[in-house]
Amino acid sequence: MRTVRVAVMTLACALVGALFCSSPASARVVRIEVISRADVLAGKAFGSAGSYEKIVGRVHFKVRPDNRHNRVIVDLDRAPRDAGGEVEFSADLFLLKPKDMRRGNGALLLEVPNRGRKGMLVIVNGATPAADPALDSDFGDGWLMRQGYTLAVLGWQWDVQDDPGGGRLRLHAPVAHNPDGSHIIGLLRDDFTPSARAQDLPLGHVIVGTIGGTEYPAAAPDDARNVLTVRDAATGPRRTIPRSRWSFAHLVDGKLVASDRHIHLEPGFQPGKIYELVYVVQDPVVAGLGLAAVRDFVSHLKYDRKAIAPVRRGYAAGISQCGRFLRHFLWQGFNADEEGRKVLDGVLAHVAGAGRGSFNHRFAQPSRDAQPWSTFFYPTDLFPFTDLPSRDPVTGAEAGLLDAARADRVAPRVFYSNTSYEYWGRTAALIHVTPDGRRDADLPDDVRVYLFAGLQHFSRDFPPEPGTGDLRSQHRQNPNPVRWFWRAMIDNMNGWVARGVAPPPSRYPRLSDGTLVPLARLRFPRVPGLTPPRHPVRAWRLDFGPEWAAGPWGIMARGIIDRQPPATGEPFPLLVPQVDSDGNDRAGVRLPQLRAPLATTTGWNLRDRSIGAPDQMVSFLGSYLPLARTATERQKSRDPRPSIGERYAGRDQYMAKFRAAAEELVAERWLLAEDVPALMERAAQEWAAATR
């Protein structure tokens, strides 16, 4: 009888399905460790979604190295296994969910955190940045909650820097070893472009302040393979610095102390120079488990009814590094879980340009990127760039970014959104042109490409100021806001997936209509003392050595870099958006600030002389180049752009043109009607600042 009961239960489970009979063997989330759980704002109701709760915890996973959907994870077969032959790891979790999930909208919005930081509440809700949101201001206007979204932030990056304030989320992944248990040894490459003279530098990739990665310590400080070079340009000749002048050390209270995480140079590092260190490291972290963590957490919430926050649809949003992460996620086939089910229904990859990243190879440094004057020749901007298959005319390789997802029939709906900066600093044009740069590439029906014209990589407050610190710039930063576009994009994605309402068509610069051009054909107005950059970021064909092999769809089979630095081949074409007579981008989705301009707002800015290399672009920033107030002022400065006084009869006419532009964007579904009043407040601020 017991045998019969077991057989009946097994049959019932099979009939009902995995949604109702989940187990650790099918749901790769083993458990969610809840560290804290509390009502948001003492039970405040957010519209029809009601009250929310905040959960802080850690998600524990197991994966099988022999599962076909895991074989792409580099060094997973060399990670320690439990008694069942599975690899264990975990990831930090921050979760906001309706207390009554039935009152939510059934959709998960997963934020892929940039260097471990939460950002979606700030960008979309207009909240105050907070490590542990608790105050009313930490949740902004509550837009995401009022829409009923479950918002999750999951750690995926192993090398997140420690944060004195806490709150950064990271991946806790195992280290790989050789089959005999010995250390895996390899060569790692760091590069540094200091903005001020310094004797010591940390080995980690520090972007601004404490934002960046911890990286690997030096494993053999005296090894002859450790080499430091300096050069004056990305493609310039490397000059080897004698070993007697540098060491793995740093100054502590004026005394030089050995350190496996710092490099010391006599007489010091010079600002604006490119220093490159190749050094011996050991014990690679299985970095690709960060991709599996995102896959399996979303799968768990979608397919396990007993999940902590069950949902019907899963969307992921990633900005910059994390937009590149999502492109990498799709390229390597992670949108199919271990059972082959679709994971993400929608992807919003913002300001990723044409990049992927150092997310799944041996000794991967996830924080590394590609910037105008640092972090050169990392595996960031690599073929393929377009979603549909294309052929590289130089190497003969043929592949598309979504090949793996389409083969598994799990391709999601995708928004690729970029600002003007990414066309200058992230080779964004390559996602929608053929690799030879001669014609516009075809896009899949389930993909949209958007240029948000006249914005920089990230938004800054108004009024604009020049960049500071490592980002000191020659011109004021571009202050145009992206927030309102984000709210409409999220709304459009949900409408597309949940109700089949197609979003606005792709809008981006094209070769066919002359709005995308080689740099030599850019027609920027001749504003005295102002010249666009001559050296935008380029994507290069790179050779990382024979162990950096390619499998199906161009996916890495080995993922081992054994050529440091890589050999550099031909660059891919460089194309930028054409501009109008004011210097503003002609194509793309144009904010009212471009339709009723008070300034030229570009996607580029130049480095201040104090940080060296003043003819090069400064990372991430655009420029705010105000118009003259009057015709007399314009004529005196010989500015060819019509002045504010020549464009508008006064404030009322300006505000009317701005409102008409905003309402047109609402009709086209680039903005939400509820956001127009806030945008008009911003217009009033901009007029007052421009005409005072």
**pLDDT over 90, % of the chain:** 90
Amino acid 227: pLDDT: 98
Is residue 425 within 8 A of residue 620, CB to CB? The reply is yes
| pLDDT tens-digit series, residues 101-143 | 999 999 999 999 999 999 999 999 999 999 999 999 999 999 9
What is the number of domains present in the chain? 1
Is residue 205 within 8 A of residue 367, CB to CB? The reply is yes
Q: Can you point out the beta strands (E) in 261-364?
A: 262-269, 274-282, 313-319, 346-350
Q: What is the mean pLDDT of residues 389-406?
A: 95
* CA-based nearest residue to 451, from 506, 505, 492, 402: 506
Is residue 381 within 8 A of residue 414, CB to CB? The reply is no
| Non-local CB neighbours of 101 within 8 Å, separated by 6+ positions | 150, 309, 310, 311
* CA-based nearest residue to 450, from 478, 475, 433, 428: 428
Q: Torsion over CA of 472, 477, 481 and 483, rounded to 10 degrees?
A: -10
Q: Would you call the peptide bond into 614 cis, given omega within 30 degrees of 0 as the criterion?
A: no
Asked whether residue 224 is assigned to any structural domain, the reply reads: yes
| pLDDT tens-digit series, residues 331-344 | 999 999 999 999 99
Amino acid at 506: S
| pLDDT tens-digit series, residues 319-375 | 999 999 999 999 999 999 999 999 999 999 999 999 999 999 999 999 999 999 999
Torsion sign, CA atoms 678, 682, 688, 691: negative
* Res 13 pLDDT > 50: no
Asked whether residue 259 is assigned to any structural domain, the reply reads: yes
Beta bridge mates, 555: none
Query: Which CATH number is 275's domain given?
Result: 2.60.40
Amino acid 262: pLDDT: 95
| pLDDT tens-digit series, residues 483-501 | 999 999 999 999 999 999 9
Token pair 């009902």 in the structure block, residue: 16
3-class DSSP assignment, residue 252: strand
| pLDDT tens-digit series, residues 62-111 | 999 999 999 999 999 999 999 999 999 999 999 999 999 999 999 999 99
Token pair 């690899």 in the structure block, residue: 87
Amino acid 554: pLDDT: 54
| pLDDT tens-digit series, residues 203-227 | 988 776 656 678 899 999 999 999 9
Q: How many Å apart are CA 86 and CA 79, to the nearest integer? A: 9
Q: How many Å apart are CA 56 and CA 93, to the nearest integer? A: 6
Is residue 413 within 8 A of residue 398, CB to CB? The reply is no
Asked whether residue 296 is assigned to any structural domain, the reply reads: no
* Res 228 pLDDT > 50: yes
Cα-flanking dihedrals φ and ψ of residue 342, to 5°? -65, 135
HEC secondary structure over 35-87: EEEEEHHHHCECHHHCEEEEEEEEEEEEECCCCCCCCCCCCHHHCCCCCCCCE
| Non-local CB neighbours of 361 within 8 Å, separated by 6+ positions | 74, 287, 288, 379, 548, 556, 559, 560, 561
Length of the chain (residues): 692
Asked whether residue 205 is assigned to any structural domain, the reply reads: yes
3-class DSSP assignment, residue 392: coil
The 8-class DSSP code of residue 515 comes to S
Asked whether residue 448 is assigned to any structural domain, the reply reads: no
Confidence of residue 5 (pLDDT cuts 50, 70, 90): very low
Q: How many Å apart are CA 136 and CA 246, to the nearest integer? A: 51
Asked whether residue 261 is assigned to any structural domain, the reply reads: yes
Q: Mean pLDDT score of the chain, rounded to an integer?
A: 93
Asked whether residue 193 is assigned to any structural domain, the reply reads: yes
Token pair 């009709």 in the structure block, residue: 667
Asked whether residue 235 is assigned to any structural domain, the reply reads: yes
* Res 251 pLDDT > 50: yes
Amino acid 137: pLDDT: 98
Q: Is 596 left (phi over 0), alpha (psi -120 to 50) or beta?
A: beta
Q: How many Å apart are CA 628 and CA 635, to the nearest integer? A: 9
3-class DSSP assignment, residue 176: coil
Whole domain around residue 194: which residue ranges? 185-282
Q: How many Å apart are CA 37 and CA 496, to the nearest integer? A: 33
* Res 246 pLDDT > 90: yes
∠ CA 364-365-371, nearest 5°, is: 130
* Res 557 pLDDT > 70: no
DSSP H helix total and E strand total for the chain = 13, 30
Cβ atoms < 10 Å from Cβ of 51: 17
Q: How many Å apart are CA 321 and CA 422, to the nearest integer? A: 12
* CA-based nearest residue to 220, from 269, 278, 180: 278
Q: How many Å apart are CA 316 and CA 95, to the nearest integer? A: 14
| Non-local CB neighbours of 662 within 8 Å, separated by 6+ positions | 592, 671, 676, 679, 680
